Structure 1
Amino acid sequence: MNILTRIASDVRLMLRRPARIQYAALCFRFRKKRGEIEVLLITSRDTGRWVIPKGWPMEGRPSYAVAEREAYEEAGVKGKVHNEPIGHYMYQKGLPQGLKVRCKVQVYSLEVHELSKNFPEKRERRLEWVSCSEAAARVAEPGLRKLFLAFEQSWLAPHQPVQAKNAHA
């Protein structure tokens, strides 16, 4: 088999493979004084792009617990993780050899109650609290953008003042 035939065969196999799964935490907090929700963005270690904490499945741990653990390791946050996903998004994960694999990231919301000063990846990442619309503007993945905006809408609907809810009645 010549090299081109082998490469073509490898590419076909990569394209047929199902997406690999990861679990992520959309970390949020409510700012009472401003009456708005903020979400946490972190930078990736390799490219420095804005992302949310995520990781690979861990044997013996439910998916939402993996998301919760990644949130602590990558961002130093602790809180209440919801055990039902709020959605998912797709992206291409770059591998060390230069190849890319398609990944499906299942996202769980995590209401942050505590920020740790020291956590495993503190010196490897930057963290920023921003509005959902600012987060959507910063991330590269279209599916993650949509998740931020949908999360904001789902949060705002039940938290609107009574007058605003009845304004169209």
Structure 2
Amino acid sequence: MDDHAPPLPATQFGALPFRETRNGEVEFLLITSRGSGQWIIPKGKPIPNLTPPETAAREAFEEAGILGEVDPHPIGRFAYMKDQGQPNAQFIPAVEVFAMRVTQQLTLWPEMGQRSMVWLTPEQALHAIEIDALRKIVRRFAKTFAKGA
């Protein structure tokens, strides 16, 4: 083992929260990161005894106060710089993303008040998200949703 190489962070798991509007369009829920304040999706490190989709659902509950149905199959992966611009910034090599149909938005949750959140149309979400690979996941999901798949 190379003593000089830092350990690679574990893969994280995230939820792409969505809902269907009355006119059949899709909207996405984005939250701000606590470090950089950029618009992202709920995500976090693996949680012992939970599957990746269950971990994504738990993160969505803790960070955004939402409950819903998480697809067991990932819809994409992206990498990002955690706490970008901060002295302790860390590269996260992979966030596996699971689609989450939101069925309930709670009024109280663990990280309430620590982040902003907003429901956006696909176009608005694509404009707000800075991480290119996450934008691609959102764009692809929105196209698939529009086709009724």
Is TM-score (shorter-chain normalized) higher than 0.5? yes
Kept after mapping to 1: 8 A contact 2:12/2:44: yes
1:119 counterpart SS class = coil
Aligned residue number for residue 28 of structure 1: 18
Q: TM-score, normalised by structure 2?
A: 0.90
Counterpart of 1:107 in structure 2 is 97
Query: Which structure has the larger Rg over C-alpha atoms?
Result: 1
Q: State the Cα distance separating 1:19 from its structure 2 match.
A: 5.8
Calculate the aligned-residue CA RMSD, in Å: 1.9
Residues 25-75 of structure 1, C-alpha deviations (whole Å, 9 max, x = no match):
00000002x321100000111221101000000111100000000000000
Of residues 142, 152, 155, the one that matches 2:142 is 152
Match of 1:116 in 2: 106
Q: Is the 8 A contact 2:79 2:91 kept in 1?
A: no
Number of corresponding residues = 146
User: 1:91-125 CA deviation, whole Å, 9 max, x = no partner?
Assistant: 12238752422320000011001010000111101
Contact 2:81 2:89 in 1 (8 A): no
**% identity of equivalent residues:** 33
Structure 2, unpaired ranges of 5+:
none
Kindly state the Cα deviation for residue 134 of structure 1 after the two structures are TM-superposed.
1.2
Of stretches 17-26 and 60-69 in structure 1, the one that deviates more from structure 2 is 17-26
| Amino acid of the structure 2 residue aligned with 1:112 | V
* Equivalence for 1:164: none
- 1:88 is the counterpart of 2:77: yes
> Quick one: distance in 2 between partners of 1:20 and 1:97?
20
- For the 8 Å contact 1:30–1:36, the answer to whether it is kept is yes
What 5-or-longer segments of structure 1 have no aligned partner?
A: 1-8, 160-169
- Give yes or no for the alignment of 1:53 onto 2:42: yes
For 1:138 and 1:106, the matched residues in 2 are separated by 20
Q: TM-score, normalising length from structure 1?
A: 0.79
Q: Per the alignment, do residues 80 and 134 of structure 1 end up closer, same or farther by CA in structure 2, a change over 3 Å counting?
A: same
2:108 aligns to what SS in structure 1? coil
Greater RCO (Cα-Cα under 8 Å, separation 6 or more): 2
Runs of 4+ residues over 3 Å off in structure 1: 17-20, 94-97
User: Which amino acid in the other structure matches residue 107 of structure 2?
Assistant: K
On the 8 A contact 1:82/1:110 being kept in 2, the answer is: yes
Q: 1:158 to 1:99 in 2, by over 3 A?
A: closer
